[in-house]
Every structure is written in structure tokens, then in C-alpha cells.
Amino acid sequence: MKKTTLLLFIFISTTLLLSCGIYKFNGGNTGDAKTIQVDFFPNQASLIEPTLSQRFTQEMQDLFLRQTNLDQVRSGGDLRFEGEITGYRINPMSALVGMKEKCDLVVLLEPK
């Protein structure tokens, strides 16, 4: 009974918060910024994955374009991200026979 009451309370609270516009579970405050600049992140790791720099930079650009209303610019952005990849590792998340292995890619960055 207590578990059902608790779940009902959480559901109603979440519904009220979202419907009233009080809280959003995505996005963030970008202040007065209108543009974003994501520079290329070169791969300086001891082990080189040829496509990692391009994929990482592209995914970071896509993330901000999907989750904010900022316009992407090549230079002079109100917000700017730059740095380099200093290392990475691949952590296996499952090792199921006959199925595609799932992995978690961890990228180490050094901001400039």
C-alpha cells in the first residue's frame, strides 16, 4: 500500500511540475548567448583511433544543436569549446556469445 501511494505521489508531482512549466528535465540556461563555437578536438592520445577526433567533435556539435537554441558558428561564438583528446579507453559492458558486444567509450579531454 505504501509503495503504491508513493508511486502515485511521484507520478502526480512529476506531471504537475512538467505541465506547469516549473521544471524541465532537459536543456539548460545559456544566458544571453546566441551562438556556439565547437573547435576541432585533435587526438593527442598515445593510441590513435583515426576517426575519434572527427566523431567526437561532430557529436559535441550535434548535442548542442539538438538540446539548445544556439546557432553554430565557425568563429567568434558567444560560447566556445576547445581542447584535445589526451586518452581514451573502451570498457566492455557485456560479453554475450553470439550477440554484438556493447562497449562504453571513455574519452579523456584536456581543455585549453
Q: Is residue 62 part of a domain?
A: yes
Q: Is residue 10 part of a domain?
A: no
Q: What is the pLDDT of residues 76-93, one digit of tens each?
A: 999 999 989 888 887 776
How far apart are the C-alpha atoms of 108 and 42, rounded to whole Å? 12
* Cα–Cα separations (whole angstroms), residue 61 to 20, 51, 70: 31, 16, 11
Q: Is residue 47 part of a domain?
A: yes
Chain position carrying cell 508511486: 7
> What's the pLDDT at 22?
46
Domain residues for the domain of 36 are: 32-111
Q: Is residue 19 part of a domain?
A: no
Total domains, the chain: 1
Q: Is residue 23 part of a domain?
A: no
Q: The whole model's pTM is what?
A: 0.63
Among candidate residues 41, 42, 40, 37, the one with its CA nearest the CA of residue 74: 37
pLDDT beyond 50 at 52: yes
Q: Is residue 71 part of a domain?
A: yes
Q: Is residue 2 part of a domain?
A: no
Query: Strands, DSSP E only, in the chain?
Result: 35-38, 71-72, 79-81, 83-92, 103-111
Confidence of residue 6 (pLDDT cuts 50, 70, 90): very low
